[in-house]
Structure 1
């Protein structure tokens, strides 16, 4: 299906409220309301409207019991997919696998598709999480292409934005959030690709969006030098503050207790009450940052890709009064590191460990490289004195393509999952998607029936 021939629901600006009179009068889902007590609050200085709390873990209920514990290695994928966009409008898809030899293991990359995806450069790629099948690509041609990653087939084009698509993210399997140079963010429902909300407030280009791990709160930064917070449960802005510089990226930490703002060669690390904890001055221009957990030992890491042709690893101390320090460098590229993504995977039987975290970097040198985060030793005083240099475990060369963005997607589910278990889990996932989509749609109907309008955190 071509981009212009997508089904009509792909172009809808909002869902009509046909049965709003009988809907529940609730802005938050019941489980979300129950979690607003005793959780940290993201307090943003500036113009506010009912600042939303940062929600806690999802309440265990009907849908929560259907999936495996995400911390268990049995629920982790045993393989993964790497999807990259480029200036040359090409979309690359590779399959990543792990093989064992004795107690050692090695990574392998194999191309599974390469084709032109847009009529202009690809600026963002995103994949639905937890084994989801959707791949979305955003381009300077103002179109978001949607693909079925399992069948490697284009589904259609979302033509909601009136500017280049700068960022895409799937908060869950059921929803996708997009940002654009037109100053808006759009929340799509993956079931029918209807636009549930168009979030307005930024004056100028939106550069980056970060969704909290609870999927209920998002932060965005843009050309207007403003940090904005969005309540995704109500579908509206909740607070904003001036940051006096154009934020290029915003990222949440793995546990949601910190967030980082990147601009040029600086990284500002904040607590959720908007207290500036530390400012990192990187030696060269930054292009991407990413939080992740250690594999060996415990603690938070911040990965930073830059013009210096390497990925720098910062240790983020548990004591937030202590400054971050450089503990390692991932080397091998011959040009700037443009983007980075990570994924936890389960290792095959016979490997020295049960799981690890794979780090994928892309560069303007046209190469994708994989690193094993387990090669980084546990935190120690000795490590603080000397930087570790990590070599790539595998690479793929596109022969000169200028890569711009990357995302990692789940491959096969845990090796010891029974085939019947896989089938049941897939059925449950589809059922969960429908339930989650219905919840948010009913919330929108409630708000529309009351005459509420979507605004951008300012009145």
Structure 2
């Protein structure tokens, strides 16, 4: 299907005057051309400055104004496939296409005037919309990408006890008259570039309760956890379960606040798990348990238990009426450190299972997602998303000075080095999930962050390593550190769904148009060879 350019109200309003400027400039004298070119730009700049706060001006991307990238861009574009799960049981996939210069920075051959040109709008296009489950989608997982295959496996988990499997194409769809594409009707006016290679593979039914977490350690294995207190290891070749790790059900110790278990029962199940980079160890946290469990993936047996003490639970923002259970767990890139997220805070531990520092957002708010920055230069940067619409970057190796009333056993706070969004930038909706991507051309110096909010808004940010410098002085001791806005918002897309989970990957496969042409050429070669062989046989 032909991919149509999305025309929103803002982009249409900004593109229409450009056409008039070009028509006027073609017939105007050179002096008037310069005056007319500068006037609209200055007027739009003044208007934007009057309507935005300093924080909003720093975070708001100038994506509506046209630039020199509209046509004839000599730099390549990057395409990202984004998949969002929702409470409405819908699996929504769409692509975001933008010049690589938005991430890697201006081209070295650009002149100073060209570098100041406003960046273009990110173009979005819907690729698929699956009615995946019969209840809310809770988690997603993507298999590692491979250069040998143009497909990637997607797994979705829901509260309906099912794991659905999909095969997604890694090739960006390119509209062409010769390709097998056509325009589809849409209610919202969004561009649609449906890929016929995106298919549903089937469902897995080896769990007896809601699915809580999914992970592909490799292309050959899938790990899944559920509220039935089991972690299943499935072989992707034939989707047969190889083994099941059974976590013990906690003993009843009263009914904590917010307990939804039936009378006579206790809350149980795996909240989250994380596999060590060596693929030999795994951490898990569960409901109703004030501990962390360590598993040996070689033998499939328990390797140890780390009980959370009072100082750890207090550092995680838990009160005496809370459950004290870990909600999320994550390893860093090197496997030398891991973090456990509680309801209103997180604690980082070393490989010796001793607490290093705590993450305490200021003002206090809930944490929804957590992961380490996949960077070699900053491997100890913990990224968390919050209830008030912030994505916060903490350096777990740099701690804040303890306040005067602090006790010796209190855990030091991590230093907040940067943040994205939040009320200061006009973003207040909670960020349920986010994904950090490192494009190949960025060389680990810059990253793309895709965030999904409960109001259905997906935002695409870019941030560089140079922006993650530690602040010079703390604002308030004992209550965390304030940091300025970092990064840049380059695109916003509204799905109209209540997003619960999100995944994304850079589409590095062969474009559909080139692949279709290659297949056509191969078919022509086969037809020619068949015709020549038949003519030779007739001549004999």
TM-score bucket (shorter structure):
0.5 to 0.7
Whether 2:397 is the aligned partner of 1:317: answer yes
Instruction: Pick one of 314, 318, 326 that aligns with 1:247.
Output: 326
Q: Any idea what the Cα deviations from partners look like across 1:120-164, whole Å, max 9, x if unmatched?
A: 000000100133611000000000001111221111100010000
**1:268-289 CA deviation, whole Å, 9 max, x = no partner?**
1101111011122222011111
Equivalent-residue separation in structure 1 for 2:238 and 2:341 (angstroms): 34
1:409 aligns with 2:505: yes
Matched, 1:94 2:158: no
Secondary structure at 1:373's aligned position in 2?
strand
Q: Which moved more, 1:366-375 or 1:153-162?
A: 366-375
Q: State how far apart, in whole Å, the 2-side matches of 1:110 and 1:317 are.
A: 41
Aligned partner of 1:266 in structure 2 is 345
The question of whether the paired residues in 1 share the 8 Å contact of 2:333 and 2:379 is answered with no
SS across alignment from 1:251: strand
Greater strand share, 1 or 2?
1
**CA contact under 8 A between 1:326 and 1:387: conserved in structure 2?**
yes
2:273 maps to 1:209 = yes
- 1:357 and 1:177 map into 2 onto residues whose CA distance is 27
TM-superposed deviation, 1:412: 0.8
The Cα of 1:292 is off from its aligned counterpart by 0.5
1:340 aligns with 2:386: no
Distance 1:414 1:117 in 2: 27
**CA displacement 1:236-264 (0-9 Å, x = unmatched):** 32222333621100011121111100111
Q: Is the 8 A contact 2:398 2:415 kept in 1?
A: no
Change in Cα spacing, 1:155 to 1:381, as seen in structure 2 (3 Å) is: closer
What do the CA deviations read for 1:77-131 (whole angstroms, capped 9, x no partner)? 9543211100000101122333156636765443211221100000000100133
DSSP-derived class of the 2:237 partner: coil
Bigger helix share: 2
1:289 is the counterpart of 2:386: no
Residue of structure 2 in register with 1:184 after alignment: 230
Listed as ranges, the gaps of 5+ residues in structure 2 are: 1-76, 108-114, 170-196, 250-267, 310-323, 401-410, 476-481, 516-540
Q: Which residue, out of 209, 226, 230, partners 1:163? A: 209
User: What is the root-mean-square deviation in Å for CA atoms of aligned residues?
Assistant: 3.1
Q: Is the contact made by 2:348 and 2:396 (CA closer than 8 Å) also made in structure 1?
A: no
Query: Which of 282, 288, 296 lines up with 1:231 in the alignment?
Result: 296
Structure with greater contact order relative to length (CA < 8 Å, sep ≥ 6): 1
Aligned-residue offset at 1:210: 0.6
Q: 1:279 aligns with which of 334, 353, 358?
A: 358
Contact 1:334–1:365 (CA under 8 A) maintained in structure 2: no
TM-score scaled by length of structure 2: 0.57
Q: Secondary structure at the match of 2:428?
A: coil
1:199 to 239, 245, 264: 245
**3-state SS of the aligned residue for 1:393?**
strand
- Partner of residue 127, structure 2: 112
Q: C-alpha distance in 1, partners of 2:447/2:308?
A: 33
Q: For 2:158 and 2:471, locate their aligned partners in 1 and report how far apart those are by CA, in whole Å.
A: 45
Q: Which residue of 1 aligns with 2:519?
A: none
1:398, distance to aligned residue in structure 2 (A)? 1.1
Q: Which residue of 1 aligns with 2:388?
A: 308
Aligned: 1:364 with 2:449:
no
Alpha-carbon separation, structure 2, partners of 1:375 and 1:271:
24
User: Partner residue of 1:218?
Assistant: 282
Q: Does 1:121 align with 2:136?
A: yes
What are the residue-to-residue correspondences of 1:430-445 with 2, within 5 Å? none
Q: Cα–Cα, structure 1 residues 299 and 228, in superposed 2: closer, same or farther, change >3 Å?
A: closer
Total equivalences in the alignment: 337
Give the one of 390, 394, 416 matched to 2:491: 394
Q: After superposition, give the CA deviation of every residue in 1:334-373 in whole Å (9 maximum; x if it has no partner).
A: 31111112111134xxx9x786321111111111111112
- Classify 1:202/1:157 alpha carbon distance in 2 versus 1 (closer, same or farther; 3 Å): same
Question: How far apart are residue 229 of structure 1 and its match?
Answer: 1.4
How far apart are the structure 1 equivalents of 2:355 and 2:437? 28
CA distance 1:354–1:300, shift in 2 (3 Å): closer
Q: Please, which moves more after superposition, 316-325 or 106-115?
A: 316-325
Unaligned runs of 5+ in 1: 1-76, 420-459
Distance of 1:211 and 1:123 partners within structure 2: 19
2:373 alignment partner, SS class: strand
- The question of whether the paired residues in 2 share the 8 Å contact of 1:294 and 1:373 is answered with no
- SS of 2:464's partner is helix
Report SS of the residue matched to 2:393: strand
Q: How does 1:29-68 map to 2 (within 5 A)?
A: none
Cα 1:134–1:100 change in 2 (3 A) is closer
